[in-house]
Amino acid sequence: MTAELPLLAPPRAVHRGRGLVFVVLAAVLFSTSGSLAKPAMTAGLTPEQVATLRIGLAGVLLLAGTALFAPRALRIRRGEWPVLLGYGALGVAGTQLLYFIAAARIPVGIAILLEFMSPVLIALWVRVVRKKRLPGVLWLGIGLAMAGLALVAQVWQGLRLDFVGLLAGLGAAVCSAGYFLLGERALADREPLGLVTWGMVIGAVLVSVAAPPWTVPVKATVQTVPFGPWTPPLWLLLAGLVVLSTALAYLAGITALRHLPASVASVVGLVEPIAAAAFAWAFLGEALAWPQALGAVLLLSGAFLVQRRTAALA
């Protein structure tokens, strides 16, 4: 539907403490996605099917909730469609699908670390496309991130990681960069709730092309799977993936951005890969070798420098 008036995003309230709480909550909720999804893929669901379930059901929840409590946020002006389609394709469908493909083939902690190469790609976008000069400390951050990536991938052992999984993780980083860049542009004149809801719906449609919902083996979802010290039914983990790791995670992130600038929220968001590695160790028994742990520290340090300096240039 088409709105008559611009849908301007509401001004952010100045409650930094509340914003920090919500951005940490969002990061922790997002970080559970790999640990909750991997048992489904081990049980026989493909990464595409898991992405269809996650994005599709979360899209239904967000669309129904927004229609009931904030219907104005669903209005779309004609000129917004290209950005919304790009946001749904890259920021939702591409990021989630490629991340799940990576998580199915390589350790979850490494998959999410690769996705967090996105700040480096955003910095390069600022330099090459926006023609802004980058300070030396930013290039230092890029160098640290690349060195960390080499350690995480253990390149001296002939690329020990699964090559397809590695490419999928880097592809998720590209899509994640698109998520931030397109989201930054769209939020200039659109409410975050409407952006996320439509992005989820568009992403669900696109992912369903790769894995139509009727191809999901429903019988597989009732079997029990190992999950840390427990053996819950798979449908319970999938419910957690949809509600906790997706719908509530996005809503917490939206709330955080009402109280904090994106530059601050993105830096605090570096809690996510650390929490993801911790969840993968606790529930999946996946641990990083010491060179990979060192690489994780370098990668996150480089991403931190890049995000801080890129925010100053924006």
Residue 175's domain spans which residues? Answer: 16-216+232-313
Q: Which residues of 241-271 are buried (b: 16+ CB within 10 A; e: fewer)?
A: bbebbbbbbbbbbbbbbbbbebebbbbbbbb
Three state DSSP letters for 146-194: HHHHHHHHCHHHCCCCCHHHHHHHHHHHHHHHHHHHHHHHHCCCCCHHH
Stretch 124-133: mean pLDDT: 77
Does residue 9 lie within any of the structural domains? no
Does residue 195 lie within any of the structural domains? yes
Rounded to the nearest 10°, the torsion over CA 34, 40, 41, 43 is 150
Average model confidence (pLDDT) for the chain? Answer: 83
Q: What total number of domains does the chain contain?
A: 1
Dihedral sign (CA 297, 33, 307, 132): positive
Does residue 23 lie within any of the structural domains? yes
Does residue 197 lie within any of the structural domains? yes
Does residue 8 lie within any of the structural domains? no
Stretch 30-45: mean pLDDT: 93
Does residue 11 lie within any of the structural domains? no
**pLDDT digits over 131-158, tens only?**
777 677 777 887 888 788 778 766 565 5
**pLDDT digits over 279-309, tens only?**
998 999 988 888 888 988 888 888 787 767 6
pLDDT of residue 6: 38
Residue, of 209 and 255, whose pLDDT is higher: 209
Does residue 223 lie within any of the structural domains? no
Stretch 190-219: mean pLDDT: 92
| Structure confidence at residue 267 as a pLDDT band (50, 70, 90) | low
pLDDT of residue 5: 35
Three state DSSP letters for the chain: CCCCCCCCCCCCCCCHHHHHHHHHHHHHHHHCHHHHHHHHHHCCCCHHHHHHHHHHHHHHHHHHHHHHHCHHHHCCCHHHHHHHHHHHHHHHHHHHHHHHHHHHHCCHHHHHHHHCCHHHHHHHHHHHCCCCCCCHHHHHHHHHHHHHHHHHHCHHHCCCCCHHHHHHHHHHHHHHHHHHHHHHHHCCCCCHHHHHHHHHHHHHHHHHHHCCHHHCCHHHHHCECCECCECCEHHHHHHHHHHHHHHHHHHHHHHHHCCCCHHHHHHHCCHHHHHHHHHHHHHHCCCCCHHHHHHHHHHHHHHHHHHHHHHHHC
> Are 35 and 228 contacting, i.e. CB atoms less than 8 angstroms apart?
no
Does residue 221 lie within any of the structural domains? no
- How far is Cα 41 from Cα 178, in angstroms, rounded to an integer? 26
| Structure confidence at residue 33 as a pLDDT band (50, 70, 90) | very high
Q: Which residue has the tokens 């955080």?
A: 256
